[in-house]
Amino acid sequence: MILIRVSASNTAALGLHVEGRVLAVPGVVPNAPPGVVERAPNLGWHGVRPADHWPDRDTAPEPENEANLGALAEYWSAEQAAETFVHVSAESGIGAALVIDGRLFRGARGFAGELGHIPVHPDGPDCPCGSRGCLEQYAGDAAVLREAGLADHRTGDPVALLAERAAAGHAPTLHALDRAGRALGLALASAVELVDPDALVLGGAYAELADWLLPSVRAELAARVTVRPWDPQALRPSALGRRGPLLGAALTTVRRIMADPMLLPAG
C-alpha cells in the first residue's frame, strides 16, 4: 500500500474521493457513545466529541485510539504477525493495545490498553490523569527528556534528539533510556503474567529508541516473568515505527470497504 498525503482542497484535482476519515487520538475512545474521546490527559480532553469542533460536520473523522491503530497496522501488515500480542507505543503519552487471536480487544467499555497509567511506583510523581507514579512519569517522552537533561528541547523532534544523543554516548540520555526501559519492563511483565501473549511489540517512538530500551526491558522481563521461561526475542520493535497509527487508520477504511464494497458510491 502507498500512502499519499493530500489536502481536502486538492483531492478533486487529483481525481480522488475521500471514503473514510479516521482521527488517531492519544486517549480513551469508548465503545459508546460513538465519536467521543472520553479522556486524553495529555491533550486536556475530557468527554470531547471531535465532530463538534470540525469545520464541516459532514467530513468529521471517526476518532480511534492511536495505540489501537498501531496494533492493527502491525497485525495486518507484518510478514509474520503474532496472533496474540501486546503493542505498546509512545507518542503523546504511552498507549497499549491487546490483540487476542487476531482480534483487537477493547474491553467491556473500550477502555482497555491504558498501560501508561499503570502505577509502577505508587509513591512516585503526580500524573495528569490524577494518579501517582504512572508509567508515563518514567517512560513518557517528557519524563525521558527531563531525566536526560533535555527538558528545554521539546521543540523539533524529541525522539530524533534522544536517538542522536544516545548514539553519541551522551551519558544522561543513556541513563534516562535505561530508567525508562526498566519502568516499561516492569509494566510489561505484569501484562505478560496476565495475558500470556505470543509477543510484545514496541511501536511508535519506542521502535526508534529500541536499541537503547530493549536491554533493560528484557532484563526486567527475565527477572519478573514467572508463568513460563520468557523468550527475549518475543519482545521486538515494530518495523512501522511512528507510521503505525497512520497506516492503521488507512487500513481500517480499506478493510471496511473490502468487507462491504457497497460502501463505495455508484459510478
Q: Which CATH number fits domain 117-242: 3.30.300.30, 3.20.20.80, 3.50.30.10, 3.30.420.40?
A: 3.30.420.40
d(CA 87, CA 68): 8
DSSP state of 119: B
Task: Calculate the alpha carbon distances from 190 to 78, 195, 227, 232 in Å.
Answer: 25, 9, 11, 16
Q: Find, among 92, 87, 34, the residue nearest to 63 by Cα.
A: 34
Cα angle 73, 68, 81; round to 5: 40
232 neighbors 222 (Cβ within 8 angstroms): yes
Q: State pTM to two decimals.
A: 0.85
pLDDT of residue 227: 74
Query: Residue 201: exposed, middle, or buried by beta-carbon count in 10 A (0-12, 13-18, 19+)?
Result: buried
The residue that leads in pLDDT, 19 or 222, is 222
Going along the chain, which residue ranges are E strands? 22-25, 37-40, 45-48, 62-65, 85-91, 93-100, 103-105, 199-204, 235-237
Query: What is the crossing angle of helices 244-259 and 66-77, to 10°?
Result: 70
Identity at 214, one-letter amino acid code = L
pLDDT of residue 97: 93
Bridge partners, 237 (sequence order) = 202
Sorting pLDDT into bands at 50, 70 and 90, what band is 4?
A: very low
For residues 135-161, one letter each, b for 16 or more C-beta atoms within 10 angstroms of the residue's C-beta and e for the rest, the string is bbbbbbbebbbebbebeeeeeeebbeb
Q: Across residues 189-197, what is the average pLDDT?
A: 92
Q: Please report, for the chain, the start and end positions of each structural domain, with discontinuous segments joined by +.
A: 117-242
pLDDT per residue as tens digits for the range 18-49: 777 888 888 788 888 888 888 887 788 888 88
| Residue 1 scores a pLDDT above 50 | no
Range in 112-126, 160-174, 175-189 the model is least confident about = 112-126
| Residue 116 scores a pLDDT above 80 | yes
pLDDT per residue as tens digits for the range 80-108: 778 999 999 987 789 899 999 999 999 88
pLDDT of residue 209: 96
d(CA 145, CA 216): 18
pLDDT per residue as tens digits for the range 154-176: 667 889 999 999 999 999 999 99
Q: Which of 59-63, 137-141, 227-231 has the highest mean predicted lDDT (pLDDT)?
A: 137-141
pLDDT of residue 242: 87
pLDDT of residue 154: 64
Q: Across residues 51-76, what is the average pLDDT?
A: 86
CB-based contacts of 207, cutoff 8 Å, min separation 6:
89, 237, 238, 239, 240, 241, 242
pLDDT of residue 40: 80
Cα angle 117, 122, 124; round to 5: 85
| Residue 211 scores a pLDDT above 70 | yes
Strand, coil or helix: 95: strand
The 3-state DSSP composition of the chain as helix, strand, coil percent (nearest 5) reads: 40, 20, 40
Sorting pLDDT into bands at 50, 70 and 90, what band is 2?
A: very low
